[in-house]
Amino acid sequence: MTPAGSLLTADGLRKAYGPTTALDGAAFSIHPGEVVAVMGPSGSGKSTLLHCLAGIVRPDAGEITYNGRSLTGMSDAALSALRRSEFGFVFQFGQLVPELTCLENVALPLRLNGAKRKDAERTALSWMERLEVDDVRDKRPGQASGGQGQRVAVARSLVTNPRVLFADEPTGALDSLNGERVMELLTDAARSTHAAVVLVTHETRVAAYSDREVVVRDGKSRDMERLV
Amino acid sequence: MCIVLRMSIGHTLLGLLESGPRHGYDLKRAFDEKFGHDKPLHYGQVYSTMSRLLKNGLVEVDGVEAGGGPERKRYAITEAGITDVQRWLATPEKPEPYLQSTLYTKVVLALLTHRDAADILDTQRAEHLRLMRILTDRKRKGDLADQLICDHALFHLEADLRWLELTSARLGKLAKEVLPS
């Protein structure tokens, strides 16, 4: 079943790591411009769901469709190209390259896609301004605060104008105030570019920035929207 | 507040009747044992509630023991009563601080009547998050005073949600404790 107008859908996803079942028939769908929170207890399978949706992990069974194309039948090279061009990623720890400046970090995805340095850095700087971290452009990630570093990571994830942004516990390492600011800026930026956001979080205050919530328990998903 | 309490007692007594007809004093004992640790019911509350339920067609008198008196009546739940309990259990509570006791009652009653207790918790969770979204949106658009007021409510709702998640994870254990072995 594919909800009409969905950008990314998954159905009947199963994934096991050895004897441990991570996903047991999970389903998911998201529309362009929608922010969907994926919640659930530790070990429930929510990160595995995100990794499958993003084409990082191949499910053992089930179907994933992105923009009308089946992800499950794609080659590794095609998946990798899709991730680079259409998807953006933010993780709990920014995973910025420590040797590069913050500006170079944000510009990196554009440079990897073949953009010239000047062009890449100009676009990167406009994203840093939007995320209110242009003042750390020449600093290395180690010289920025945790909140600033995470906002640099968000800027980097959005610099290629992805159609889907995957955020796995993006505020997990931040205090409340910094976490909320990151969520405000992240969701504002994603909505303005009409990107869909798959937001994995265990914090309900972070999930409250979403439009809809999917709960994963024991590898099964439940769309909470249908309960209200 | 008083009306909410009365409504809640009525539904709880109805739920307790689902497992079979009972006398008023038996209902009071079952209520106190399961939900009235701090506040046992008065006999008067039981009988006034039962006569209201009787009047509304939610229970019927199943038998009267010799000796007369209202306390001798045995009540049975009607089909309309079962529907009423079902509706009450399926309707999420208005999110507000310290509503856990009502939710706890709903969860235990669902287990006792073999309904889906996890569903009740999930419905409540969705209702809480719906309100959290509204407050978060108001906070984003508001001034500092709005932000502080909304934050206070958000922290309370977050605590409720933690309790919902924890209870959800412990349903199996709770079922073993409340269901007769």
Residue B2 above 50 pLDDT? Answer: no
CA distance B17 to chain A (A): 27
**What region does A212 belong to: left with phi over 0, alpha with psi -120 to 50, or beta?**
beta
Confidence (pLDDT) at A117: 95
Residue B21 above 60 pLDDT? Answer: yes
Interface predicted TM-score (ipTM) over 0.95: no
CA distance B20 to chain A (A): 30
Confidence (pLDDT) at A37: 96
CA–CA separation, B50 and B64 (whole Å): 14
CB A189 within 8 A of CB A130: yes
Mean pLDDT of B55-83: 85
CB A219 within 8 A of CB A22: yes
Q: Pick from A208, A215, A222: which is nearest to B133 by CB?
A: A208
Binned at pLDDT 50, 70 and 90, residue A227 comes out as low
Q: Pick from B122, B133, B161: which is nearest to A222 by CB?
A: B122
Instruction: Give chain A's mean pLDDT.
Output: 91
CA–CA separation, A167 and A88 (whole Å): 8
- DSSP, residue by residue, B69-97: SGGGEEEEE-HHHHHHHHHHHHSPPPP-T
Q: What percent of chain B shows pLDDT beyond 90?
A: 54
Residue A210 above 50 pLDDT? Answer: yes
Residue A122 above 90 pLDDT? Answer: yes
Question: What are the residues facing A69 on neighbouring strands?
Answer: A66
- CATH code for the domain defined by B1-90: 1.10.10.10
pTM listed for this prediction: 0.80
Contacts of B127 in chain A (CB under 8 A): 228
- Tell me the per-residue pLDDT of A68-85, one tens digit each, with 9 for 90 and over: 999 988 999 999 999 988
- Tell me the per-residue pLDDT of A27-42, one tens digit each, with 9 for 90 and over: 999 999 999 999 988 8
- SS3 sequence of chain A: CCCCCCCEEEEEEEEEECCEEEEEEEEEEECCCCEEEEECCCCCCHHHHHHHHCCCCCCCEEEEEECCEECCCCCHHHHHHHHHHHEEEECCCCCCCCCCCHHHHHHHHHHHCCCCHHHHHHHHHHHHHHCCCHHHCCCCHHHCCHHHHHHHHHHHHHCCCCCEEEEECCCCCCCHHHHHHHHHHHHHHHHHCCCEEEEECCCHHHHCCCCEEEEEECCEEEEHHHHC
Contacts of B157 in chain A (CB under 8 A): 204
How many A-B residue pairs are in contact by the CB < 8 A criterion? 45
Contacts of B169 in chain A (CB under 8 A): 41
- Nearest chain A residue to B161 by CA distance is A204
Name the CATH superfamily, with its identifier, for domain A8-227. Answer: P-loop containing nucleotide triphosphate hydrolases (3.40.50.300)
Residue A8 above 70 pLDDT? Answer: yes
- Tell me the per-residue pLDDT of B30-47, one tens digit each, with 9 for 90 and over: 998 888 766 788 988 999
Q: What percent of chain A shows pLDDT beyond 70?
A: 97
Residue B3 above 70 pLDDT? Answer: no
Mean pLDDT of B130-153: 91
CB A120 within 8 A of CB A126: no
- So where are chain A's domains? 8-227
Binned at pLDDT 50, 70 and 90, residue B77 comes out as very high
Chain B contact for A175, CB < 8 A?
no
- So where are chain B's domains? 1-90, 92-181
CA distance B134 to chain A (A): 8
CB count in 10 Å sphere of residue A113? 12
CA–CA separation, A89 and A105 (whole Å): 13
Mean pLDDT of B117-123: 92
CA–CA separation, A30 and B116 (whole Å): 28
- Tell me the per-residue pLDDT of A132-185, one tens digit each, with 9 for 90 and over: 999 999 999 999 998 899 999 999 999 999 999 999 998 887 888 888 988 998
Contacts of B126 in chain A (CB under 8 A): 213, 224-225, 227-228
CA distance A205 to chain B (A): 7
Q: What percent of chain B shows pLDDT beyond 70?
A: 88
CA–CA separation, B19 and B112 (whole Å): 8
Comparing A93-97, A149-153, A214-218, which segment has the lowest mean pLDDT? A93-97
Confidence (pLDDT) at B40: 86
Chain B contact for A208, CB < 8 A?
yes
Which amino acid, A150? Q
Chain B contact for A214, CB < 8 A?
no
CA–CA separation, A208 and B137 (whole Å): 9
CB contact under 8 A, A215 and B158: no
Contacts of A210 in chain B (CB under 8 A): 133
